[in-house]
Amino acid sequence: MIIENTISLDKIDLAILRLMQENSRISNVHMAKELEMAPSAVLERVKKLEQKNVITQYTARINPVAVNLKLLAFISMKASHSIGCMDTANELSKLKEVQEVHIIAGDDCYLVKVRTTDSASLMALMRNSFSKIPNILSIRTTIVLETVKEEQQLVIPEK
Amino acid sequence: MIIENTISLDKIDLAILRLMQENSRISNVHMAKELEMAPSAVLERVKKLEQKNVITQYTARINPVAVNLKLLAFISMKASHSIGCMDTANELSKLKEVQEVHIIAGDDCYLVKVRTTDSASLMALMRNSFSKIPNILSIRTTIVLETVKEEQQLVIPEK
DNA sequence: TGTAAAATCAGAATAATATTCAAAATTATA
DNA sequence: TATAATTTTGAATATTATTCTGATTTTACA
């Protein structure tokens, strides 16, 4: 028995991904017209893309300012030893203000993206939560003054 | 005539945002049950949230590996003069491999998030595109070894 | 505080869409 | 090439979106 773990996507799959990435509330009927096939066939493919974990979520992007999240910061951290790297990263991931946790190459160990109401709430997060996480040796916080572009849209290849 | 630019969201709006952020394909019927109100009323609110630009997009999140985007990098840049900051940022934003462009406080001027197929294609992007953008004094590239968390989900307040 | 205007809501009717399923077509495979 | 597996289609049905009207609530403000 061969375990299939190669995800192979054809032209139509990629086109569906492109459409749904642009607007996840697009109807199957609309996609079907675009792709010149039956809505039921589109639905079938969409479901497979979900099952295969190619599509991981349908989400509404919300203006952060509208919900009073005005501060964005990137935090680079050094860890005391790389052994505990994953534990530390997992702890960081649990915090809901933390949008991203990356393990990086280079001087530092982690890069963390954080969104809070203001600098006071960032300070509170660091004092109350970061301080409890083990292995963190040093922290360097970079405040975002202005975001010119922010997407997670992927460049989906032709074939 | 007073121009209204204060976005005020009540409890129900925030609940809708929470639901749609989690799953943008949720039906009005489902939301209506959750919120104990009529589907038509939910729809009305959703449309207003769209109009007010509180909801900016409905998008499908796609597994980057599935579409062969295996490399993620953060690039810090210094600019030769802050005057040209926005022009440079705008040029960077035009590149589709560039997911984020932030103007930051601190030593550097920009922080850029880039996703490409591999290190070769990142190199190509830098050679072909970055090199044409003016005002860039220096570049420091940080390669992501592993992403532990990556969301853009916002922590939506209670009230 | 009272009143008018505006906003919100519910409910019913209709339009559109999602979903299911069996059969046909296509594709992959031995 | 024959066969199996997958994909697609099209029709039927279930569910949902959308519209609209009147009622209710909220809000603004005199």
Q: Is B84 on the interface with A (CB under 8 A)?
A: no
Looking at residues B17-44, what average pLDDT do you find? 98
A83 pLDDT above the threshold of 80: no
Burial class for A32, CB neighbours closer than 10 Å (0-12, 13-18, 19+)? middle
Query: Rounded to two decimals, what is the model's pTM?
Result: 0.92
Q: Is residue B142 a contact partner of residue B75, using CB atoms and an 8 Å limit?
A: yes
User: Nearest C-alpha of chain B: how many angstroms from A54?
Assistant: 5
Alpha helices in chain B (DSSP H): 11-22, 28-35, 39-51, 85-94, 119-128
Banded model confidence at residue B2, pLDDT cuts 50, 70, 90: very low
pLDDT at site B84: 59
pLDDT at site B158: 85
B79 pLDDT above the threshold of 50: yes
When the pLDDT of each residue in chain A is averaged and rounded to a whole number, the result is 93
Q: Which of A61, A99, A101 has the CB atom closest to B59's CB atom?
A: A61
Looking at residues B61-88, what average pLDDT do you find? 89
> Is the CB of A97 less than 8 angstroms away from the CB of B155?
yes
Looking at residues A76-102, what average pLDDT do you find? 88
User: Nearest C-alpha of chain B: how many angstroms from A148?
Assistant: 5
pLDDT in tens, B116-142: 999 999 999 999 999 999 889 999 999
pLDDT at site A72: 98
Q: Which of A65, A67, A62, A15 is nearest to A41 (CA)?
A: A15
A85 phi-psi bin (left φ>0, alpha ψ -120 to 50, beta other): alpha
**b/e sequence A64-93, b meaning 16+ C-beta within 10 Å:** bebbbbebbbbbbbebeeeebbeebbebbb
Q: Which of A98, A69, A131 is nearest to B7 (CA)?
A: A69
- C20 C1' to B30 CA distance, Å: 21
When the pLDDT of each residue in chain B is averaged and rounded to a whole number, the result is 93
> Is the CB of B58 less than 8 angstroms away from the CB of A62?
no
Q: Which of A20, A21, A62 has the CB atom closest to B154's CB atom?
A: A62
Banded model confidence at residue B159, pLDDT cuts 50, 70, 90: confident
CA distance B19 to B121: 37
Structural domains of chain B in order of their starting residue, each with its CATH number: 11-51 (1.10.10.10), 64-143 (3.30.70.920)
